Structure 1
Amino acid sequence: MPITHGVHALVWTGGWSPDEARHAIASTAEAGYDLIEIAPIDPTGFDAGMTARLLEEHGLQVSASLGLSEDTDVSSEDPDIVARGRERLATALSVLRDSGGSVLCGVLYSRLGKYSGPATERGRANSQEAIAWLADRAAASGITLALEFCNRYETNVINTTQETLDFIAAVDRPNVMAHLDTYHMNIEEHSFTEAVRAAAAAGRLGYVHVGESHRGALGTGTIPWAEFFGALTEVGYDGIVTFESFSSEVVHRTLSNDLAIWRNLWTDNRTLAREALDFTKRGLAAAGRP
């Protein structure tokens, strides 16, 4: 099966008004991608019907990602906060379903941001219970959850592939997978190859983000791309590979602050996106991926 190549919507726009959605989806198709990853951080503001129509018009697939806020953190010990988090996750799931997508990824299990201490036992249990609950709802619509482990400055629940696999084992749902992101792996993993192998061996390698070490243009930082593409090829990965890059050129009301996007790493997003797709395809081809 061929790789499905995607691009994160925040490469194009920080919002999702009809004009912004049309611009992002049309630009994604124009750049040659198969899929756009939308970011319904506040899913109540997303028009899924409009999104589905635009995707069909441009022949694109869709996935969705989000991270939770402090007042919707399902790893909290406060039951009211956990309940609000479950409601937000369920709404995001509905947005994805009604947009025509089948993978909900990202930081679904905690707040996106730096914590002042490690996750508590009760907080981790709340998170796992919320993901199990969400996975059951997702399964009814044929949707997979892909949990993106993030670096220590963006979550305290899962920071490595192995921690993600352990978390998934505790959740024990067949439609919960690991979401590997090269930006976070570059901070937390000791080996890109071993991380990919571990996720694949567990049968849980479900989604991939390709992002540079500084979150700018691919190939201009310190990610060991040949090793990573070689590992994906070795394990026969044939899922979604989405390009993710952030710059202060495109600002999301909350996500840009959560991810500390203070610098303008690029201004020409069209060239950035086309070159990222070419870089990824060439890297996979060099590794022997047809």
Structure 2
Amino acid sequence: MNPLGIHALVWAGDLTPEGARKVITQSKAAGFDLVELSLHDPKVMDVALTRSLLEEHGLKVGCSRGLAFSADVSSDDPAIVAKGVALLEEAVNLTHALGGSYYGGVPYSALGKYGQPVTALGRKHVVESLRRLSDLAAAKGVTIGIEVVNRYESNVINTARQALALIDEVGASNLVVHLDTYHMNIEEVDFVQPVLECGDRLGYVHIGESHRGYLGSGTIDFTSFFHALAAINYQGPITFESFSSTVVAQGLSNDLAVWRNLWDDGMDLATHARSFILAQAKGAGLGVTGRAY
């Protein structure tokens, strides 16, 4: 059965005590099972309070974050790589402290457009960094998700097949593939073959429209995607993700290239997304945790 999740940036741009309370209460009110917390600014978070709120509202938690070019683990510069590893290790420790067992995002490069392919040395640094990170995560009971993103956000991984190859190279059993329909729409040949190739190594899914707005208003072939999930008996989280600078602060909005807003009402967006995902799951014969259709 699949937990139905929602990204925290649908509700609030940070995880201050006030922001965390809004994220958690709104996620519960909208009918979700899991909330994905973005750890892009962890110093503002009260970890104990956030965990208490999650437990109070009966929500599961997953975490994610991206890296800047100044902390890029695919860099040729060992000092820059070390900064990235430190941030990733902090994120894994925070995930564990929050009561979570999944940390994902892009732990293999900066999140941004590169001007050249990754170098052989940079690739070596990625593998070494992920081995170190996966060892720490395993000791904390945390699974690491390798999110596949498009060519304008990384030069290391852009397809599911590349993610599987990297996981094989790292050789850690707690690494899984994280697919996102928004990115798949740009890079993959379709919405079926990558899912089938991942099989039981698919550990997390982001549901996002082609323009990251309301589901069903863009070009994503969700019917094929959900049927592919059912074909591999996928039982991991299915998490809705969308961004608007109505919620997300300017700096992070710029990092995510939110140049226009497709929504300004998080609750309306979220409840629509929940209904849409449940309908797709029902049509594909895919279960969703504790939720009636």
CA 1:253–1:72: 2 relative to 1, 3 Å: farther
Structure-to-structure mapping, 1:25-44, within 5 angstroms: 25-44=24-43
Match of 1:187 in 2: 186
Kept in 1, the 8 Å contact 2:14–2:41? The answer is no
Q: d(CA) in 2 for partners of 1:30 and 1:114?
A: 37
Match of 1:263 in 2: 260
Match of 2:201 in 1: 204
Runs of 4+ in 1 over 2 A off after TM superposition: 42-47, 252-255
Q: d(CA) in 1 for partners of 2:46 and 2:144?
A: 21
Give 1:128 shift: 1.2
Kept in 2, the 8 Å contact 1:248–1:265? The answer is no
Kept in 1, the 8 Å contact 2:17–2:45? The answer is no
Q: d(CA) in 1 for partners of 2:180 and 2:101?
A: 19
**2:214 aligned with 1:217, yes or no?**
yes
Kept in 2, the 8 Å contact 1:180–1:207? The answer is yes
DSSP-derived class of the 1:63 partner: strand
Give 1:43 shift: 3.0
Match of 1:251 in 2: 248
Kept in 2, the 8 Å contact 1:107–1:147? The answer is yes
**2:83 aligned with 1:72, yes or no?**
no
Kept in 2, the 8 Å contact 1:48–1:96? The answer is no
What is the TM-score normalised by the length of structure 2? 0.96
Opposite residue 286 of structure 1, the aligned amino acid is G
DSSP-derived class of the 2:15 partner: coil
Opposite residue 259 of structure 2, the aligned amino acid is W
Opposite residue 204 of structure 2, the aligned amino acid is Y
Percent identity, aligned pairs only? 50
**2:279 aligned with 1:282, yes or no?**
yes
Match of 2:291 in 1: none
Residue of 213, 226, 247 corresponding to 2:223: 226
Give 1:270 shift: 0.2
Opposite residue 151 of structure 2, the aligned amino acid is R
Give 1:249 shift: 1.2
Q: Structure 1, unaligned stretches of length 5 or more?
A: none
**2:125 aligned with 1:126, yes or no?**
yes
**2:238 aligned with 1:241, yes or no?**
yes
Opposite residue 191 of structure 1, the aligned amino acid is D
Kept in 2, the 8 Å contact 1:177–1:205? The answer is yes
Opposite residue 273 of structure 2, the aligned amino acid is A
User: Which of 162-171 and 254-263 deviates more?
Assistant: 254-263
Opposite residue 223 of structure 1, the aligned amino acid is I
Q: CA RMSD in A?
A: 0.9
- Number of residue equivalences: 287
DSSP-derived class of the 1:209 partner: strand
Kept in 2, the 8 Å contact 1:112–1:155? The answer is yes
Kept in 2, the 8 Å contact 1:13–1:250? The answer is yes
CA 1:266–1:187: 2 relative to 1, 3 Å: same
Q: Structure 2, unaligned stretches of length 5 or more?
A: 288-293
DSSP-derived class of the 1:267 partner: coil
Structure-to-structure mapping, 1:76-225, within 5 angstroms: 76-200=75-199, 203-225=200-222
DSSP-derived class of the 2:192 partner: helix
What is the CA deviation profile of residues 259-290 of structure 1, one whole-angstrom value per residue up to 9, with x for unaligned ones?
10011110111011011011001101001224
Opposite residue 109 of structure 1, the aligned amino acid is Y
What is the CA deviation profile of residues 71-121 of structure 1, one whole-angstrom value per residue up to 9, with x for unaligned ones?
111001111111111110011111110000000011111100000101011
Q: d(CA) in 1 for partners of 2:119 and 2:89?
A: 24
Opposite residue 171 of structure 1, the aligned amino acid is V
DSSP-derived class of the 1:223 partner: coil
